[in-house]
């Protein structure tokens, strides 16, 4: 299929980050980047190669009921999973602590999220991780992003913000969470590896490739209405993605990708 392949240099880079982390506990490393950048694929491959545990931030979305409560109490757009504020960072912290304290015979149960059902799976359907990992690899699209100045939030970046967040309450609430719990969580990590897309323009193509792979078809055969749906969907992520691509991200290592996800220069 057309999805990302793992460059050996990227896999070796993750290995070096694991080795450079403090001794005495599993390294805590985030692999971040825009939708479709290959962060989950890299995290899974590195987990297999180095005996690490892989957790996607998607796995710790708030439950549907919790997001419905946020939609009532904060802003209706928070019913959509993905933006900062819709993850259970406390659960993610607890999982990392459990993995760090695990002995060779212990089992840590890692959550899974049912994207079709739009809810976290019950605990009896979580996946087991046996023993103590060498590292905990978290793939997350938004970890490390830096909060914006309040004035920067005044101007909407797309039709979603213009029509459904006209007063800016949703993006202001997201920005507060970026500055608060998401910054604190990012600062607790040993390293952040940022896979930098060449521009926001490629994100729709990458996201369409992901969907085509899930459907088992060539990206060129993805129906036009599905591409239009995905174009609407990525608007929820556009502001933060553009900010990260413009340099508004705290990362220990940045790898520039071309539009085919081939890594180029490495900084950090």
What is the per-residue pLDDT across 15-32, written as a single tens digit (0 to 9) for each? Answer: 999 999 999 999 999 999
169-200 pLDDT, tens per residue? Answer: 999 999 999 999 999 999 999 999 999 999 99
Question: Taking Cα atoms as reference points, which of 129, 102, 110, 137 lies closest to residue 21?
Answer: 137
CB 210 within 8 A of CB 115: no
> Which stretch of 57-71, 120-134, 205-219, 248-262 has the lowest confidence by average pLDDT?
205-219
Model-level pTM?
Answer: 0.94
Average pLDDT of every residue of the chain? 95
Task: Tell me the pLDDT tens digit for each residue of 105-158.
Answer: 999 999 999 989 999 999 999 999 999 999 999 999 999 999 999 999 999 999
Measure the CA–CA gap between 38 and 5, rounded to whole angstroms: 8
The whole-number pLDDT of residue 210 equals 87
Q: Where are the alpha helices (DSSP H) in 25-153?
A: 39-50, 64-73, 89-101
């Amino acid at each position: 299929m057309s999805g990302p392949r793992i460059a050996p240099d990227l896999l070796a880079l993750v290995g070096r980050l694991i080795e450079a982390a403090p001794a005495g506990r599993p390294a805590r490393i985030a692999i971040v980047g825009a939708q479709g950048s290959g962060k989950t694929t890299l995290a899974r491959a590195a987990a297999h190669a180095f005996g690490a545990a892989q957790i996607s931030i998607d796995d710790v979305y708030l439950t549907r009921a919790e997001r419905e409560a946020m939609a009532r109490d904060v802003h209706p757009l928070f019913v959509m999973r993905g933006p900062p504020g819709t993850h259970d960072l406390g659960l993610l912290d607890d999982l990392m602590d459990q993995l760090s304290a695990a002995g060779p015979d212990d089992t840590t149960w890692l959550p899974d999220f049912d994207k079709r059902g739009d809810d976290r799976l019950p605990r009896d359907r979580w996946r087991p991780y046996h023993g103590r990992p060498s590292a905990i690899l978290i793939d997350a699209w938004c970890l490390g992003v830096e909060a914006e100045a309040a004035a920067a939030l005044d101007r909407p970046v797309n039709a979603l913000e213009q029509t459904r967040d006209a007063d800016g309450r949703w993006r202001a609430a997201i920005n507060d969470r970026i500055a608060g719990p998401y910054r604190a969580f990012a600062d607790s990590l040993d390293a952040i590896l940022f896979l930098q897309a060449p521009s926001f323009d490629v994100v729709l193509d990458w996201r369409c490739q992901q969907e085509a792979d899930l459907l088992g078809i060539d990206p060129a055969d993805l129906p036009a209405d599905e591409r239009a749906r995905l174009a609407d969907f990525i608007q929820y992520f556009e502001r933060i993605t553009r900010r990260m691509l413009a340099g508004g991200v705290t990362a220990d290592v940045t790898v520039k990708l071309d539009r085919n996800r081939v890594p180029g220069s490495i900084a950090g």
